[in-house]
Amino acid sequence: MDVDYHKEQNWVASQLSTTCNVEPGLFNDWFTGHLNFQIEHHLFPTMPRHNLYKVAPQVQTLCAKHGLTYESKTLYRAFADIVVMLQKSGELWYEAYHLDVADEKQKAQ
């Protein structure tokens, strides 16, 4: 997910704004090793993965109570988002790499 750095955001809001879950289900739970509960994993990093689903309803209630977004996506949407973010990251790296090469060429002249 896009990260928008808000220094005034508390830790819980920061975790929720930078991650999302993949919808639970027999296949998704197995395929992701229960890490489709990324929100809960970020809030409770030492909790065993197979227990993350147990706290999800309480986290959802907490989010609703405090007006925080609890985002859950399909597995397909999550993979598509990863590809888009990898593209953006690759473009940033490519631009930074070529900027350094252009600077070196100017210094050599």
For 42-64, the pLDDT digits (tens) are: 999 999 999 999 999 999 999 99
The answer to whether 72 touches 21, Cβ cutoff 8 Å, is yes
Tally of domains in the chain: 2
What digits encode the pLDDT tens for the residues 80-91?
A: 988 998 999 899
Range of the domain at 15: 1-73
Same domain for 79 and 96: yes
The one-letter amino acid code at 62 reads L
Q: What letter would DSSP give residue 47?
A: S
pTM of the model: 0.71
Same domain for 30 and 1: yes
Give the separation between CA 58 and CA 74, rounded to whole angstroms. Answer: 21
**To 5 degrees, how large is the angle CA 75–CA 78–CA 81?**
150
In DSSP terms, which residues pair with 21 in a beta bridge? 72
How is residue 109 written in tokens? Answer: 């002249």
